[in-house]
């Protein structure tokens, strides 16, 4: 397996989509308790999956790339980064992205273990929050990072003006 | 670049998501004419991108794999194929999936040319339609294939019970 960036091993796979609005369940309905949701308006949805061997040191570069790459469409139809749009960010843990076809099923043997994955995911979220909080345009506009609960079912509703789906590997 | 299936060149990249309902614009609003949309209920959304060098002969195997791989969740929480669910299929042409990061932007030099891409896309759609029409469960349940307009902006609204995002390369 070769990463899109040319290195020989993939540590993380990310799919990015653009949205006008997105809603994600962060806690399923429970006895005497309704489901809990987070939502964002215009911005970027980041589906993320970590592979075995991924370590904390990939997170800063990964987040820096995702926050600064020009995938977001401005009102004038040009492309800019989510930090410069300024846009919101919704992070969705998505272990299925690590799947490899085997016969008629999918195998996930390359995925990172649950505990390590949870740590990397938490670090990824906190680095995204930090980048947004340091970006003047984002803090002025009040754009936010929201994120799903690692290991949960990611009940997602997405409204786009074109998802502009991109794949990135790190 | 190495395909997820282990071969040395990628001809097509596909992202698959599961949906409860999805709506896609197939014609933008024009003078004296409202936007036109297609929609599906429960089933699979297939985002597809072809690379330079892709030829017609990859289509039957690609469609057969996608229609028969067990990515769809049944009511009992098991996984089955879209043909056996039976589910609907929404095909979204998505050239952005061919992007490679270059500096702070994305380049699409590996993408197939417009004319060849359009032909492969049309063939992909028609093979999906054929597979669904031949599947007894699909024809009995009246499930359908809907698809976006190649080259257009893909204005998409998606409602999921968990997108279960998968990447597949051919």
Q: What are the start-end ranges of the E strands in A28-111? A: 36-50, 72-73, 79-80, 88-93, 100-102, 105-107
Residue B61 predicted with pLDDT over 60: yes
User: Residue B66: which pLDDT band, with cuts at 50, 70 and 90?
Assistant: very high
Q: Could you give the CA distance from residue B73 to residue B164 in angstroms, rounded to a whole number?
A: 9
Q: What is the mean pLDDT of residues B141-153?
A: 97
The answer to whether B153 contacts A167, with C-beta atoms less than 8 Å apart, is no
Q: Could you give the CA distance from residue A114 to residue B83 in angstroms, rounded to a whole number?
A: 32
The answer to whether B166 contacts A65, with C-beta atoms less than 8 Å apart, is no
User: Residue B8: which pLDDT band, with cuts at 50, 70 and 90?
Assistant: low
Question: Phi/psi class of residue B144: alpha, beta or left (left: φ > 0; alpha: ψ in -120 to 50)?
Answer: beta
Regarding an ipTM greater than 0.90, the answer is yes
Q: What is the mean pLDDT of residues B59-74?
A: 98
The pLDDT tens digits of the residues spanning A48-87 come to 999 999 999 999 999 999 999 999 999 999 999 999 999 9
Q: Which of A79, A158, A167 sits opposite B157 (nearest CB)?
A: A158
pLDDT computed for residue B140 by the predictor: 97
Number of C-beta neighbours around residue B68 at 10 A: 17
pLDDT computed for residue A97 by the predictor: 98
pLDDT computed for residue B31 by the predictor: 86
Size of interface A-B (CB pairs under 8 A): 108
Residue B7 predicted with pLDDT over 60: no
Chain B positions touching A165 (Cβ under 8 A) are 15, 47, 94, 96-97
Number of C-beta neighbours around residue A37 at 10 A: 14
Please tell me whether the peptide bond between B86 and the residue prior to it is cis, using omega within 30 degrees of 0. Answer: yes
Phi, psi of B163 (to 5 degrees): -70, -20
Percent of chain B with pLDDT over 90: 92
Residue B76 predicted with pLDDT over 90: yes
Please give the structure tokens belonging to residue A164: 């502009």
Q: Is residue A60 packed enough to be buried (19+ CB in 10 Å), middle (13-18) or exposed (0-12)? A: middle
Q: Which of A65, A97, A100 sits opposite B165 (nearest CB)?
A: A97
Query: Is the CB of residue B30 less than 8 Å from the CB of residue B160?
Result: no
* Cβ neighbours of residue B6 closer than 8 Å, sequence gap 6 or more: none
Residues 116-155 of B with CB under 8 A from A: 153-155
pLDDT computed for residue B3 by the predictor: 56
> Which residues are registered as beta bridge partners of B46?
B16, B91
pLDDT computed for residue A8 by the predictor: 64
Q: How far is A109 from chain B (nearest CA, A)?
A: 13
The answer to whether B166 contacts A106, with C-beta atoms less than 8 Å apart, is yes
Q: For chain B, what is the mean pLDDT?
A: 95
Q: Could you give the CA distance from residue B53 to residue B117 in angstroms, rounded to a whole number?
A: 10
Half-sphere exposure of A9 (CA within 13 A, CB side): 10
Q: What is the mean pLDDT of residues B45-65?
A: 98
pLDDT computed for residue A107 by the predictor: 97
Q: For chain A, what is the mean pLDDT?
A: 95
Contact of B9 with chain A, judged by CB distance below 8 Å, is answered with: no
Q: Are strands A36-50 and A88-93 parallel, antiparallel or unpaired?
A: parallel
Per-residue pLDDT of chain A (170 residues; tens, 9 = 90+): 455 545 568 999 999 999 999 999 999 999 888 999 999 999 999 999 999 999 999 999 999 999 999 999 999 999 999 999 999 999 999 999 999 999 999 999 999 999 999 999 999 999 999 999 999 999 999 999 999 999 999 999 999 999 999 999 99
- Report H helices in chain B: 59-68, 114-134, 136-141
Q: Could you give the CA distance from residue A154 to residue B12 in angstroms, rounded to a whole number?
A: 27
The answer to whether A168 contacts B101, with C-beta atoms less than 8 Å apart, is yes
Chain A positions touching B92 (Cβ under 8 A) are 163
Q: Are strands A166-169 and A36-50 parallel, antiparallel or unpaired?
A: unpaired
The pLDDT tens digits of the residues spanning B82-112 come to 999 999 999 999 999 999 999 999 999 999 9
């Amino acid at each position: 397996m070769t990463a899109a960036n040319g290195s020989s091993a993939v540590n993380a796979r990310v799919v990015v989509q653009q949205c006008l609005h997105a809603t994600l369940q962060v806690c399923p309905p429970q006895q005497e308790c309704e489901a809990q949701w987070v939502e964002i308006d215009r911005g970027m949805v980041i589906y993320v999956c970590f592979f075995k061997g991924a370590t904390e040191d990939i997170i800063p570069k990964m987040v820096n790339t995702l926050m600064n790459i020009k995938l977001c469409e401005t009102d004038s139809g040009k492309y800019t980064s989510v930090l410069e749009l300024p846009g919101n960010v919704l992070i969705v843990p998505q272990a299925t992205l690590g799947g490899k076809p085997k016969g008629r099923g999918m195998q996930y043997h390359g995925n990172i273990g649950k505990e390590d994955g949870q740590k990397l995911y938490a670090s990824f979220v906190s680095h995204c929050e930090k980048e947004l909080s340091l970006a003047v345009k984002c803090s002025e506009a009040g754009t936010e990072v929201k994120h799903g609960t690692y290991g949960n079912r990611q009940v997602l509703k997405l409204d786009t003006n074109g998802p502009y789906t991109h794949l990135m590997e790190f």
